[in-house]
Amino acid sequence: MTDHNRPSGDDQDTTHFGFTTVKTNEKEKLVRGVFDSVADRYDLMNDLMSAGIHRLWKRFTIELSAVRPGQTVLDIAGGTGDLSARFSKLVGAEGKVILADINASMLQVGRDKLLDAGAFGNLHMVQCDAQYLPFPDNSVDCITIAFGLRNVTDKALALRSMERILKPGGRLLILEFSKPTSPLLEKIYDTYSFRILPMMGRLVANDEESYRYLAESIRKHPDQETLMAMMEDAGFVDCQYHNMTGGIVAVHRGIKA
Amino acid sequence: MQREHDPAVITAVTAALEASVNRALTLAPAASRELAEMADTVLAIECTAPVITVYITITPMGTLQVSSYSEAKSSTRVRGAFDDFLTLATADDPAATLINSDLEIVGNTAPLLALQQIVTHMDLDWEAPLVDVLGDVAGHQLAQLLRGTFSWGKDAGKSLRRQLSEFILEEGRLSPPAAELDAFYDDVQNLALRVDRLQSRLKRFAQKVAAR
C-alpha cells in the first residue's frame, strides 16, 4: 500500500472516496459514476466553479511543459480535451498527442469537442487506467494530468507507471487542487467548496452529490510538499511546484532521470 | 520555494496581451506576413519593477505567442523598469530611445526594433469585420467614418504635440530648445577639458618650482 490517501487502520483494503471510506476496488466504479454524471456539463461547470480561471491554470501548465514540434504528449485524465487541443497545435503534424481517460463518457465529450474544433490528425484517444498505462517504456516526451490524480485509487502506482513510459529527460506535469497558503483564504475556500459548490452543482448540473464529492476529494488530496515527495519516491528528479491562486491549485513538475 | 508572483495573474496578463495583439494582427495581414518572416524569434522582456519576465515568440503563422515561461533560446533579452518599456513602445524613434534609455539589452537588437515597428505601424483593416457584420454598404460607410476619425485623431495628436512643444520652448520659455541644450552641453564639456588642461599645467609648474 503506497497510496498516501488511504486511511490508516487495520483494514488495508479500503481507500477514500471523498470523506467516505470505501473498498479499494469500488472507488474506480464510484469515480466513474461521478464523471458519467457530470460529463455533459463538465466544461460549463468548470467555468462557473472557477470563474474561468481554470483556463489560466491550464495555460500556465502548457507553458511549463515546453513542448516542441515533433514530440509525443500524453494527456492523462484529459477529459474534455482542453490541454490536448493546445498540445495538438504545439507538436504539429510530426508530433502526437494522446488524450487518455478512464471514463468513456468524458472521452466521448472530449472527442466531439476536439473534432468540432478541427483538432485531429495528430490526436489519438485511448481509454485507459492511469495506474496501468498501456504504452511502451521510454516512449513519451511529456505527460500531463490535470485535475485527475486525486481521483486515482493508487496515486503512487500511477506515478510509477508514468515514470516508466516517459523518455529519459521527459517531464511530468501534475495540475491539481492543493492547499491554500493563507488560513483566511482556506476558510473562504472551505465555505465556497462545501456550501456554494454543491448548490451550483444542483442548479446547473442537477447533481449535488457529484460536486460534493469533488470538494471532498480535493481535501483528501496530498498537499504540495507531500505530492512532491511522492513524485521523488516514484523516481522523478528536479521536482518543483508552483502555487497558483493562493495555493488553491498547484502545478508540480518532475523530470525522468 | 522562492517567492514569486502568482502565475495565474501573470498568465492572465500574457493571455490578454496575446489575444489582443493577435486579434489586431488578423486585421493587418501585411504586418502578419512581415512577422511570419521572423518566425521562431524569441524576445525576452525582463521587467525589474514589477518583477515579471515575458517571452514573445513569433510563430510561423505570423502571430505572437506571449508567455511567462519559455525554455527556448531568446534572440534578444531586454531588462529594465516598466516605464522604460512603455517609453520604448510608444516612441517615434525606437532606435534612439533604446540607445538613450536605461534599458539593458543582451543579444541582437534588430528583431526587437523590427517587432516594435511592425506592431506600431500596423495598418488595421477595419472594413473586413464590419462588412461581415453589417453588410457591404453600411460596413463600408462605417469603416470610412472610422478611418476618417482615426486619421483626424492621429493628425490632431501630432498637431497638439507640436503646438505644446512650441509653447513650452518659444512662448513660455519653460525649457530650452534641444539645439540650445546641446550647445550648452558642448560648452560644459569644453570647459571641463580646459580645466583639466589648466590643472595639468599648474601641476607641472608646481613640480618645476619645487625642483628649483
ipTM over 0.85 threshold = no
CB contact under 8 Å between A60 and B68, yes or no, is yes
Window 63-82 of B: residues touching A by CB (8 A cutoff) are 67-72
Spatial CB neighbours of A183, under 8 Å, sequence gap ≥ 6: none
Cis check: omega of the bond before A136, within 30 degrees of 0: no
Looking at residue B148, what is its pLDDT? 78
CA dist A165 → A133, A154, B102, B150 (Å): 8, 17, 49, 57
Which grid cell is A21? 471510506
Residues comprising chain A, all counted: 257
Looking at residue A256, what is its pLDDT? 96
Q: pLDDT below 70 — which residues of chain B?
A: 1-4, 126
Residue corresponding to grid cell 516526451: A141
* Mean pLDDT, contiguous 10-residue spans, chain A (257 residues): 43 72 76 72 75 90 94 92 92 94 88 85 93 96 94 93 97 94 90 84 78 83 95 97 94 96
Hey, how many other C-beta atoms are within 10 angstroms of the C-beta on A229? 13
Buried b (16+ CB within 10 A) or exposed e, A189-214: beeebeeebbeebeeebebeebbbbb
d(CA A184, CA B63): 42
B11 touching A (Cβ < 8 Å): yes
Buried b (16+ CB within 10 A) or exposed e, A131-154: bebebeeeebbbbbbbbbbbbbbb
Nearest-CA distance B23 → chain A (Å): 18
User: Tell me, what amino acid is at B12?
Assistant: A
CB contact under 8 Å between B67 and A244, yes or no, is no
Please report residues of A whose CB lies closer than 8 A to that of B68: 60, 63
d(CA A102, CA A124): 14
Looking at residue A5, what is its pLDDT? 43
Please report residues of B whose CB lies closer than 8 A to that of A63: 11, 67-70
Helix, strand or coil, per DSSP, at residue B47: strand
B7 touching A (Cβ < 8 Å): yes
CA dist A166 → A138, A146, A211, B126, B179 (Å): 5, 17, 33, 48, 66
Looking at residue A137, what is its pLDDT? 97
**Per-residue pLDDT tens for B143-196?**
787 777 777 777 787 788 888 878 887 777 777 777 888 889 999 999 999 999
Contact A250, A243 (CB under 8 A): yes
Looking at residue A232, what is its pLDDT? 97
Looking at residue A12, what is its pLDDT? 59
Which grid cell is A12? 488495508
Contact B60, B39 (CB under 8 A): yes
Instruction: Write the residue in A60, A240, A241 that is nearest to B8 by C-beta.
Output: A60
Instruction: Write the residue in A57, A63, A251 that is nearest to B67 by C-beta.
Output: A63
Looking at residue B2, what is its pLDDT? 42
Side-by-side strand order, sheet with A236-244: A123-127, A96-101, A72-76, A140-146, A166-177, A249-256, A236-244
CA dist B210 → B201, B203, B204, B205 (Å): 14, 11, 10, 9
Q: Give chain A as a 3 state SS string.
A: CCCCCCCCCCCCCEEEECCEEEEHHHHHHHHHHHHHHHHHHHHHHHHHHHCCCHHHHHHHHHHHHCCCCCCEEEEECCCCCHHHHHHHHHHCCCCEEEEEECCHHHHHHHHHHHHHCCCCCCEEEEECCCCCCCCCCCCEEEEEEECCHHHCCCHHHHHHHHHHHEEEEEEEEEEEECCCCCHHHHHHHHHHHHHHHHHHHHHHCCCHHHHHHHHHHHHHCCCHHHHHHHHHHCCEEEEEEEEEHHHCEEEEEEEEC
CB contact under 8 Å between A53 and B8, yes or no, is yes
